[in-house]
Structures are given as structure tokens and as C-alpha cells.
Amino acid sequence: MPAANSALSSRAVAARHHWFLYVLFAFAVALLTFAGARAQSKASDDATFRKLIDGYCSAWSSGDPANAAKYYAKDASLTFYDLTPFSYSGWTDYDRGVRKNIFEHVETASLTAGKELRVTRHGNVAWTTVPMRITAKFKDGKTLDSPVRYTGIWEKRGKTWLLVHEHLSVPMGG
């Protein structure tokens, strides 16, 4: 009987090894599936926010804040840091302030986003950073051509991504 017990014991060990290999294989497949899905999600986020940022720049380049309004949450408590003046509280203040402080003095303006868009998303909140360039021709004949640093904080409300905070700044010295 000892030989029979030895054979049973060997088969039990082999079965445990096979079971362990099956579990290990299933774990590896799950990990690869998760990594692939994550990469696909990242690519989708990048494309989504590239489209949003390009539309945002086009809207502001139109010279009418009403065209940019669709990119912003309308909560009065939100803060937006713009190029001038220091900040605005809520979309209503932003719209009124940009018309008075910028667009009343500009003949044409263009805002373009660079290729180096970075997107970080956690659930229904995402932040984007991208270098931009602003060019403008003022009514007094002066011109502006400057790099701009941009950070946008987006929140997904329903099916729509909206800016809940942004910060634009120009490097010191232009």
C-alpha cells in the first residue's frame, strides 16, 4: 500500500501545481485585460480633451465669450484665473469681465493650443495642462504674441465635461 499512497500523493501534488498554474494564468490574463482597457481609456480621454481644448480655443478666438460659455459650469462660486485681471467669480462675472477688459480693446485675437496636452482623470474629474499661444491686434494698433500656460479643471456633469476652474498665465518677461 505504501506505493499506492505515494502515487496518490504525487498525483495530488501535480493537481495542486496544475491548479496553481491555472490560477496564475487567469490572473495574468486579467491583468493584461485591465492594462489594455486602461490604455484604451487613456487614449479615449486624450482624444476627448483634445477636441474640447481645440473647441475652447476656437470659441475664445471668435471674440465672443458667448461662444465659450458652453465649456464652463455656471456656478457663481467657481473661480477662474485669466490673463487680466487677476480672477473672476463665476461664469457671469467672467463673461462680463472679459468683454470689458479684453474684447472691448481688441480687433482680432487668436488662442491656439500646443500639441503637448496632458490629461489626468479620476472618475468624473479631470485636469488638463497644455501650452498655448495668444496673438492679438488691439484697436490702438499694438499687437500681442505670447506663450500662455493653461490648466483646466473639468467636471463631468451628466454627459458633458465642463470647466469648474482654470488658470491661464503668461511667463514673466512675455
Residue 17 is placed in which grid cell? 501545481
Give the residue, 45 or 25, on which the prediction is more confident: 45
pLDDT of 38 over the 80 cut: no
pLDDT of 41 over the 60 cut: no
* Predicted TM-score (pTM) of this structure: 0.75
CA 140-141-145 angle, 5° bins: 115
- At 65-103, the pLDDT tens digits run 999 999 999 999 999 999 888 899 999 999 999 999 999
Alpha carbons 152 and 52: distance in angstroms, whole number: 11
Q: Domain locations in the chain?
A: 2-169
Domain 2-169 CATH class label:
alpha beta
Neighbours of 143 (CB within 10 A): 10
- At 106-127, the pLDDT tens digits run 999 999 999 999 999 999 999 9
Residue 45 is placed in which grid cell? 480621454
Alpha carbons 160 and 156: distance in angstroms, whole number: 5
pLDDT (average), residues 31-39:
47
pLDDT of 34 over the 50 cut: no
